[in-house]
Structure 1
């Protein structure tokens, strides 16, 4: 165990928390580690919505390059930010046990706006579409930056609230008292999960990381990401997915949906499957949506986003 495993990470508070979490787990197993912080394009360009930058995996790209160039050995990501297709030579090495999957609304103490007109901030097309689906009289505004930056922008704005992933807020103790769980909102595929990637030919590191893998989370996030990949969503379409394992019945409850950008259209699959079907579950669920109008909706979404670019 003489090799030092260099852990690449973005330098935001949440990304560093995730990197240190993996570092501690590896250290507890007897491995030596070093944290290497790398600035990503997604952190630098804050004046454009992510979909306008035209890049999937914008927060992971810089770390991918650092790994391929041999500057770091592994990278730790919020799994929902990772493209479904990894670069050649890089593989998924471990998925850690999943945290909270719920989205939350952070508000300013008064929820009267929910009954009338309101303005909600989020940089996610998925959250925008689902919010407008439930609250069609509201408007949404783009919100970018790391969690700390977004919380500050909310405080300084006249918005009624902003939507965040509960897991991120909880990990760095930023969850305020003025929040409500949006249990009606379908999360992003793999939301709440952390993934560690490494180079395919680095057997030492792959063996070390295999000890951190949580099989239940790996299976559920695989299903969700297969659903996303089959719909060809990348990081830009309003797609939500959540798979949950029921140990008593040895089954998977899967809920997945595709929304129009304005939230008016919703196409959903909500079913219970036998655990034996997990390898193709996401694919078949996505095919069901594509065959029932989803293919046309995806074309319309892509055309609309290309116009904005």
Structure 2
């Protein structure tokens, strides 16, 4: 292991204590240590981890996963927080900043089932577990006959509930399963055409206090420019729609040379109206251009009938 350099800032990482969150924090820890930083972890349990009997959309949204970590940053008990970017609210509280977006893992959704190889194989009326409103409306569009039931908890808890027979199948982020070495649990991966991913899915973001310019410099080598541009466009769609986990919204960007193509989808959980889709493309070289593309696609969604949060 690289010997820490006394000239570089030592760093404490605030992290949730789930196995996936710890993997993410330890991954960042190893990268920073390799660059000469002394790095320690501060494990924490968030309200999002504690409240498992209700869907996030009913108890305050995904911000419940980051609030305690931000308090640790504010109080100086930690220097950075590592997040799954899809869990980070579209607007950070005043005084905080997203200092780094790392290279993305697989952004797609995974079909997980002990008895069926794909969504198409599920029998009529089969129970599928997910607490994501986005996944719910996209599953309903693919298979209106399925029974979608809530599913909360960390990855291991969700897999246990599946194995106990509470569900015929569940849908999880492919990135989380791959990071935990659970590739074999993936029976099929949904293409973006089948199930458009969530904004930021598969990407890690590192949050700091806005005044920590020393940390911006330390984290710069970990950033991945194209991932940052892509997720900025995706998150702009969600932000413009008032997006949170209480909104059934998807946004996903893909590159063709220097052109970023961005697709979005919005659905009605009650299935009273068909799925609304929108897309746009533009050359993107800056975060401002990425943001503009996202706003343009969000405007298309609204024109086509999507309803944003009030």
Distance 1:178 1:91, change over 3 A: closer
What SS does structure 1 have at the residue aligned with 2:171? strand
Q: Deviations over 1:238-275 (max 9, x none)?
A: 1101111222xx21111111111134521111333233
TM-score, length of structure 2 as denominator length: 0.91
Q: Deviations over 1:169-214 (max 9, x none)?
A: 0001123345111111000001010000111111221210112111
1:91–1:200 Cα contact (<8 Å) kept: yes
Alignment of 1:48 with 2:59, yes or no, is no
Alignment of 1:65 with 2:77, yes or no, is no
Please show how residues 39-188 of structure 1 align to structure 2 within 5 Å: 39-111=45-117, 113-114=121-122, 116-177=124-185, 179-183=187-191, 184-188=194-198
Alignment of 1:274 with 2:283, yes or no, is yes
What SS does structure 2 have at the residue aligned with 1:76? strand
Gaps of 5+ in 1: 303-309
CA RMSD of aligned residues (A): 1.6
For structure 1, which segment, 142-151 or 47-56, has the greater mean C-alpha deviation from structure 2 after superposition? 47-56
In the alignment, the residues of structure 1 paired with residue 12 and residue 281 of structure 2 have an alpha-carbon distance, to the nearest angstrom, of: 41
Higher-helix-fraction structure: 1
Structure 1 stretches of 4+ with a deviation exceeding 4 A read none
Alignment of 1:255 with 2:263, yes or no, is yes
Alignment of 1:191 with 2:197, yes or no, is no
1:115 Cα deviation from its structure 2 partner: 5.2
Number of aligned residue pairs: give it.
Answer: 296
Distance 1:177 1:76, change over 3 A: closer
In the alignment, the residues of structure 2 paired with residue 182 and residue 262 of structure 1 have an alpha-carbon distance, to the nearest angstrom, of: 23
Distance 1:290 1:114, change over 3 A: same
Match of 1:236 among 233, 243, 246: 246
1:71 Cα deviation from its structure 2 partner: 1.1
What SS does structure 1 have at the residue aligned with 2:255? strand
2:98–2:207 Cα contact (<8 Å) kept: yes
In the alignment, the residues of structure 1 paired with residue 284 and residue 216 of structure 2 have an alpha-carbon distance, to the nearest angstrom, of: 27
1:132–1:262 Cα contact (<8 Å) kept: no
In the alignment, the residues of structure 1 paired with residue 215 and residue 86 of structure 2 have an alpha-carbon distance, to the nearest angstrom, of: 23
Gaps of 5+ in 2: 1-6
In the alignment, the residues of structure 1 paired with residue 140 and residue 245 of structure 2 have an alpha-carbon distance, to the nearest angstrom, of: 19
2:61–2:244 Cα contact (<8 Å) kept: no
TM-score, length of structure 1 as denominator length: 0.91
In the alignment, the residues of structure 1 paired with residue 11 and residue 29 of structure 2 have an alpha-carbon distance, to the nearest angstrom, of: 9
In the alignment, the residues of structure 1 paired with residue 157 and residue 169 of structure 2 have an alpha-carbon distance, to the nearest angstrom, of: 14
Q: Deviations over 1:16-75 (max 9, x none)?
A: 000011111111111111111011111111111111102441111110111111111000
1:113 Cα deviation from its structure 2 partner: 4.9
